[in-house]
Amino acid sequence: MSSIPSFQLNSGVAMPALGYGVFQIDPATTCEAVCQALDCGYRLVDTASAYHNEQGVGEALARWMVEGRLTRDEIFVTSKVWVTQYGDEETHRAVASSLRRLGLEYADMILLHFPVPSAFEKTLAAYRALEAEQADGRIRVIGVCNFHVHHLQKLMEQCRLVPAVNQVELHPCFNQAALMAFHAQHGIVTQAWSPLGAVMLYDAASLDKPRRLLDEPVLKEVAKACGKSPAQVVLRWHIQRGVAVIPKSVHRERMAENLDIFDFVLSDEAMDRINALNCGQRGALDPDLVTMDTYPNTIED
């Protein structure tokens, strides 16, 4: 298997282009899942205080470090500050709590989980607290999630550091082309969440016809022609667009499959066929509509 390339972030820090996401992994099984992912070769783990499984991530890292299988500088750990943790003091406390749960002295990247348009002053206070944490060495790079262009513009007018990363919903059905053009102008790396389109199934039980991205005939055709799986084709599509990805799986064979995408190239024609899946419709709620109460979630300190 070829090694994972990196993206150079605006602060000079290198970030693996492909990592392991742990959203919706049971806290009780997260340590085991992350150990499997590390064993497959993942060197970036994406968690969040809101996932309630930072501790499991920390246990896996500690186990690997104690066993001498991993050094701190070989792993890139991302976590996120939840909206109820926004504010100056609150966000400093949130970072300290995440680091304690992860068992780390510093995080590689901390992101704001959402913009809160109705409490944008709090969102900005949270970001400024992250800037201070970065200056004090407890975070290597800072960024945001789910920001539209207008949220980024407002933040960049009023804060010192341009976010290194904006982690957003992005998959072939929702390709975020306009946002990516803005990121390119400002040196912001785009990181795709739900890179395999899982968000379109989050509420599958309530949908008449849930859209399963990996069942799209075009992906199956391209996959067959490349000797790869539809998931590998989609992840490769992201990488060729210059997008970082953090696919999640609890199955070891899929973890390995999702990593094995650096030994083939999609032709321009295949890229165009996949691009044609875009319907410009997100699976998740528009971040402009997110409030402090949209997703009730209590985070312990």
Give the C-alpha separation, 16 to 196, whole Å: 18
Give a three-class secondary structure readout of 45-57.
EECCHHHCCHHHH
Q: Which is nearer to ligand NAP, 98 or 258 (CB)?
A: 258
Residues 213-242 within binding reach of ligand NAP (CB under 6 A): 214, 229, 231
**Lookup: tokens for 210:** 């849930």
Give catalytic status of residue 127 as yes or no: no
Q: Which is nearer to ligand NAP, 118 or 135 (CB)?
A: 118
CB of 169 to ligand NAP, least distance (A): 7
Give the C-alpha separation, 239 to 234, whole Å: 9
Catalytic residue among 51, 106, 127, 295: 51
The residues with which 191 forms a beta bridge, in sequence order, are 167, 244
> Phi and psi for 281 in degrees, rounded to 5?
-115, 120
Q: Which is nearer to ligand NAP, 193 or 237 (CB)?
A: 193
Q: Which is nearer to ligand NAP, 109 or 136 (CB)?
A: 109
Per DSSP, helices labelled H in the chain are 27-40, 54-66, 88-102, 120-135, 149-158, 177-186, 217-226, 230-240, 252-259, 268-275
* Angle between helix 230-240 and helix 252-259 axes, rounded to 10 deg: 40
Instruction: Work out whether 46 is an interface residue with ligand NAP (CB under 6 A).
Output: yes
Out of 216, 258, 259, 270, name the contact with ligand NAP by CB under 6 A: 258
Instruction: Work out whether 49 is an interface residue with ligand NAP (CB under 6 A).
Output: no
Out of 22, 109, 141, 223, name the contact with ligand NAP by CB under 6 A: 22
CB of 37 to ligand NAP, least distance (A): 11
Out of 196, 239, 243, 259, name the contact with ligand NAP by CB under 6 A: 196
Distance, C-alpha 278 to centroid of its chain: 20
Sole window of 35-43, 130-138, 194-202, 218-226 interacting with ligand NAP (rule: CB under 6 A): 194-202
Sole window of 17-25, 60-68, 94-102, 292-300 interacting with ligand NAP (rule: CB under 6 A): 17-25
The C-alpha angle 24, 26, 30, rounded to 5 degrees, equals: 100
Cβ atoms of residues 47 and 79 within 8 Å: yes
* Residues forming the site for ligand NAP (CB under 6 A): 21-23, 46, 113, 145-146, 167, 193-199, 214, 229, 231, 246-251, 254, 257-258
